[in-house]
Amino acid sequence: MTHDRDPFEERCREALAARVESVDGHARSRLNRARQAALAERAASSGTRPFRVPGFWLPGSVLAGAAVLALAVWVARPVVNPPTALAEASALEDAEMLSSSEGPDLYQDDAEFYDWAGGDAAGGTG
C-alpha cells in the first residue's frame, strides 16, 4: 500500500529517522525498558478501573435532577394575581374616602402653603 507523500512529509520522516539513529544504544535500551514497564503496568491495572458511573445510573440521576428543578420552579413561582388584590384594596379605600363626610387629609400637613398657593393664584400676580 503506497501513498503519495509530499516532499515536506518525506523530509520530516528522514529527519526523525536520522535523529533516532543518533541516540546511543544505552539510552535506547533505557527508553525501551521504560516503555515496556509502562505497558506492563497499564495491562496489570486495566482490570482495576477507577470508579465509573454505570450506564443505568445516568438516566435516573438526570430524571431526579429534572424533578428537583421542576419542584423548585413550581414552589418558587410568583403569585398570579397580586395586582388585583392591590387594586381591590385601593378601590375600597377610595370608596371609603368618597363616602366620608370629612375632607381628605391633604391639607393637614402644610395648611399655610395651601393658603398661600390659593391666595397667590386668586391674586393674579405672576
- Side chain identity at 61, as an amino acid letter? S
Residue whose C-alpha cell reads 505497558 in the numeric block: 39
Give a yes or no: residue 84 inside a domain. Answer: no
In terms of residue numbers, what domain contains 19? 13-44
Give a yes or no: residue 35 inside a domain. Answer: yes
Give a yes or no: residue 34 inside a domain. Answer: yes
Give a yes or no: residue 27 inside a domain. Answer: yes
Rounded to an integer, the average pLDDT of 6-34 is 91
Asked if pLDDT for residue 2 goes beyond 70, the answer is no
Q: From CA 77, how far away is CA 31, in angstroms rounded?
A: 65
pTM (2 decimals)? Answer: 0.29
- Side chain identity at 114, as an amino acid letter? Y
Asked if pLDDT for residue 85 goes beyond 70, the answer is no
DSSP 3-state assignment of 17? helix
- As a whole number, the mean pLDDT across the chain is 78
pLDDT digits (tens, 9 = 90+) for 25-80: 899 899 999 999 999 988 877 666 666 666 777 888 889 999 999 999 988 877 66
Please state the domain count of the chain.
Answer: 1
| Residue closest to 45 by CA, chosen among 37, 33, 35 | 37
Of these ranges, 108-112, 113-117, 118-122, the one predicted with the greatest mean pLDDT is: 113-117
Give a yes or no: residue 59 inside a domain. Answer: no
Cell numbers linked to 20 = 533516532
Contact status, residue 83 vs residue 89, Cβ threshold 8 Å: no
Rounded to an integer, the average pLDDT of 72-101 is 72
DSSP 8-state symbol, 106: G
Give a yes or no: residue 58 inside a domain. Answer: no
Cell numbers linked to 122 = 386668586
